[in-house]
Amino acid sequence: MSESIHSDTNSKIEAVNDSKHWWSSGLRVNKDDAPPQIYNRTLYLSIFVFGILGCARGYDEGCISGTVAQTAFIKEFGLKDPSKTASQLANLKSNITSMVQLGSIGGSLVSIYAAEALGRIRTLQVGCLVWALAAIIQITSHSIGQLYAGRLIEGFCIGTTVVCGPCYISECAPKAIRGTCNNIFAGAVYFGIMMAYFANYGTALHQTGRNQWIYPTSIKIVLAGSILILSMFFCIESPRWLIKKGNMEQALINFSKLRHLEPDHPYILSEIADINEQLQVEREAIRGTSLWTNVKSLVTVKSIRIRMVLCFLIQILGQWSGANAITIYAPELFAMVGKSKQTDRMMMTALLGVVKFTSAYLSAFFLIDFIGRKKSLYAGITIQLISSLYFAIYMTIVPQAAEDDVELNPSQVRAGKGALASIYFNGIGWTMGWNSVQYLFNSEVLPLRVRSLGTAVVMAFHFANQYGNSKAVPSMLLALTNYGAFYFFAGVCLLGLVFGWFLLPEVTGRSLESMEELFALPWYLIGRRGAQLAPDHSEVNRIHFNPTGHGNAHAGDIDIVMKEQTENIEYADDKVADRELEEVK
Q: What is the DSSP letter of 585?
A: -
Cα–Cα distances (Å) from 490 to 391, 419, 421, in that order, read 10, 14, 16
Each as own residue / partner, the long-range contacts of residues 301-309 (CB below 8 Å, 24 or more positions apart, any chain) are 303/516, 303/519, 303/520, 304/446, 304/447, 304/450, 304/454, 304/519, 306/519, 306/523, 306/526, 307/442, 307/445, 307/446, 307/454, 307/515, 307/519, 308/454, 308/457, 308/458
For the chain, the C-alpha Rg in angstroms (whole number) is 25
What is the pLDDT at residue 571?
A: 39
Tens of pLDDT along the chain (585 residues) come to 333 333 333 434 443 444 445 444 444 444 556 788 899 999 999 999 999 998 998 899 888 888 888 888 888 888 888 888 877 887 888 888 888 988 988 888 888 788 888 899 999 999 999 999 999 999 999 899 999 999 999 999 998 988 888 889 988 988 888 878 888 888 888 889 889 988 988 888 888 888 889 999 999 999 999 999 999 999 999 998 999 888 999 999 999 999 999 988 888 888 888 888 877 776 666 565 566 777 888 888 888 898 999 999 999 999 888 887 787 777 777 877 766 676 777 788 888 888 888 888 888 777 777 777 888 889 999 999 999 999 989 888 887 766 666 677 888 788 888 888 898 999 899 988 888 788 778 778 888 777 778 888 888 888 888 788 777 777 777 776 777 888 999 999 999 999 988 888 887 777 776 788 888 888 888 878 777 777 766 665 665 555 554 434 444 555 554 444 444 433 334 444 444 445 554
Helix (H) or strand (E) holding 72: helix 71-76
What's the confidence (pLDDT) of residue 148? 94
Beta strand 3-6 with 543-547 is: unpaired
The span from the CA of 138 to the CA of 262, in Å, is 49
Sign of the CA dihedral 269, 270, 275, 280?
positive
pLDDT of the residue at 45: 95
What confidence score (pLDDT) does residue 230 get? 96
pTM of the model: 0.72
Domains parsed from the chain with CATH numbers: 41-241+300-502 (1.20.1250.20)
Q: What angle do CA 285, 308, 368 make, to 5 degrees?
A: 115
C-alpha dihedral (156, 357, 327, 124), degrees to nearest 10: 0
- Is 231 in a helix, a strand, or coil? helix
CA-based nearest residue to 244, from 513, 460, 36: 513
Element (H, E) at 497: helix 481-502
Q: How many residues does the chain have?
A: 585
Q: What is the pLDDT of residue 310?
A: 92
